[in-house]
Amino acid sequence: MALIEFSSIALGTRASDAMLKKATVSLLRAGTVQPGKYVILLVGQVAAVDESYLEGLRVGAEAILDRVFLPEVAEAVHAAVMGRRGDWSADTLGVIETATLAATIEAADAAVKGANVEMVQIRLGDGLHGKGLAHFAGSQADVEAAIQIGSERIAYKNQQVLTAVIPRLAGDLRSVLSQSTFFEEGD
């Protein structure tokens, strides 16, 4: 899996076209997110995704905000990026909030690979002013480990990472969040 965030919609669109022409990859998503960013998300064979990713970095270099290339992304992360929701019922909820979508995916991948947690949900960009958000569930010790592992993995990006570990999540909040993490009704 590879994702590149661009500060320019025009340059991001041009880079995306070059990426798709460079190698045979599957385009999962491409388009705008607030505040005026353009994002492309690809999957496929490692060599092909790498080739396309490098082309996107080359063509869109002057407009790149963040990026991530995960040659062996965790299946739970891939599913969450595609909208699958996990089980919210565990004792403790963990949250990682980042300024970019790429950082959220990278942190989530490290967290689920490094700790025994359920990947509950990943939200990317829309409705978050371009931020990313990952939710994890499990025992308190496992969630604490996941949050630490995920946060440490993206420390090199030098961006603000906000986290929370919430033991014994209130039942009413769990019920509402498991339906939707949007304030407005529905996703």
pLDDT of residue 21: 97
Residue 185 banded pLDDT, cuts 50, 70, 90: low
Average pLDDT (25-38) is 94
Pairwise CA distance, residues 11 & 3, whole Å: 15
Residue 164 banded pLDDT, cuts 50, 70, 90: very high
Average pLDDT (57-83) is 96
DSSP 3-state of 68: strand
pLDDT of residue 146: 98
Instruction: Tell me: cis bond preceding 167? Omega within 30 of 0 counts.
Output: no
What is 76-178's CATH number? 3.30.70.1710
Which of 7-11, 117-121, 175-179, 181-185 shows the lowest per-residue confidence on average (mean pLDDT)? 181-185
DSSP 3-state of 110: helix
CATH superfamily of 2-69: BMC (bacterial microcompartment) domain (3.30.70.1710)
β-strands 92-98, 161-167: how paired?
antiparallel
Instruction: Record the tokens describing residue 6, joined without a space.
Output: 């661009």
DSSP 3-state of 17: helix
Asked whether 143 and 117 are in contact (CB, 8 A), the reply is yes
Domains in the chain: boundaries: 2-69, 76-178
